[in-house]
């Protein structure tokens, strides 16, 4: 089946540094990828929708200058948390949509990246 | 607006008991899709089932079964003869065909199955 990978699986960084998280579709092309955030003991909330070759669409309350999204190819989207602070510590999960199939039929989640900001 | 409600925050059962996890949704779309995911402590989401709005047939897969009722906007999930390995957080989720096509997740139900 389709596989979506995320790298790194976990990261610890100091406050004020930037962290890049990669989301890759391994055996399909993904025109659209979604980034979700999950705080401890909470649900997953959509942060932004990333479309290949165009600017990402951010959900209300998500700072686009802080969470930079780049979807430069059909198999890779990156989320960069700039000037990370402890309140950004969370579990970040991406999902990728198979461009060749209906969106609701084929969206696959990555395994997630656990970010801890000290 | 779209919304998914899982009224049970936490459930504890003893192994071999049956347990039902409730899910109620709201949608503005006529075509939508409902999902259940399991999230073990590792965090990775495990896909359990997908149902479209035109298919109200109930489904059974091993010890798992799902009851979809459009009349009450519910998509409940039952685990029969629960096992300790079923302990996890379970999320019900919705995708609307004509509105963004991203997942909208419920708050989750934490299931603990005690030996």
Continuous segment of H or E residues that includes residue B14: strand B10-14
| pLDDT for the residue B25 | 97
Interior CA angle at A51 toward A47 and A52, to 5°? 140
Q: Answer yes or no: are the C-beta atoms of B59 and B76 closer than 8 Å.
A: no
Interface test with A, best of B29, B36, B43 (most A CBs within 10 A): B43
Q: Name the band, by pLDDT with cuts 50, 70 and 90, for residue A19.
A: very high
Going A88 to A60 to A7 to B4, the CA torsion angle's sign is positive
Q: Is A107 on the interface with B (CB under 8 A)?
A: yes
Per-residue confidence at A1, pLDDT binned at 50, 70, 90? low
Tell me what pLDDT residue A52 has. Answer: 86
Contact A43 B105 (CB under 8 A): yes
pLDDT value at position A54?
86
CA distance A92 to B69: 32
Q: Touching check for A94 and chain B: CB below 8 Å?
A: no
Beta-bridge partners for A45: A37
Judged against a pLDDT cut of 80, whether residue A105 lies above it is answered with no
A24-72: pLDDT as tens digits: 999 889 888 999 999 999 999 999 999 888 889 999 999 999 999 999 8
Q: Give contacts of B 29-88 with A, CB under 8 A.
A: 33, 37, 42-45, 47, 52
Nearest residue, CB atoms, B102 vs list A38, A46, A91: A46
User: E-assigned strands of chain A?
Assistant: 4-7, 10-13, 19-25, 30-38, 44-51, 57-58, 67-73, 76-81, 90-98, 107-109, 113-117
pLDDT along chain B (115 residues), means of 10: 92 97 94 94 92 87 94 96 97 87 93 97
pLDDT value of position B57: 84
């Amino acid at each position: 089946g389709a596989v979506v990978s995320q790298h790194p699986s976990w990261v610890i960084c100091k406050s004020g540094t930037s962290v890049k998280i990669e989301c890759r579709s391994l055996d399909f092309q993904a025109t659209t990828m979604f980034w979700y955030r999950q705080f401890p003991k909470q649900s997953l909330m959509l942060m932004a929708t990333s479309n290949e070759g165009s600017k990402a669409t951010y959900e209300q309350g998500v700072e686009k200058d802080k969470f930079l999204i780049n979807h430069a190819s059909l198999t890779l989207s990156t989320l960069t948390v700039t000037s990370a602070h402890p309140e950004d510590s969370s579990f970040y999960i991406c999902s990728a949509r198979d461009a060749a199939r209906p969106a609701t039929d084929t969206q696959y989640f990555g395994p997630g990246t656990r970010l801890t900001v000290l | 607006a779209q919304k998914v409600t899982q009224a049970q925050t936490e459930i504890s059962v003893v192994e071999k008991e049956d347990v039902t996890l409730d899910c109620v949704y709201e949608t503005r779309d006529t075509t939508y899709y409902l999902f259940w995911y399991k999230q073990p402590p590792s965090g990775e989401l495990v896909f359990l089932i997908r149902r479209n709005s035109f298919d109200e047939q109930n489904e059974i897969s091993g010890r798992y079964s799902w009851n979809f009722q459009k009349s009450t906007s519910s998509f409940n999930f039952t685990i029969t003869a629960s096992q300790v390995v079923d302990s996890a957080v379970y999320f019900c989720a919705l995708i609307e065909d004509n509105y963004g096509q991203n997942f909208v997740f419920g708050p989750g139900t934490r299931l603990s199955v005690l030996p």
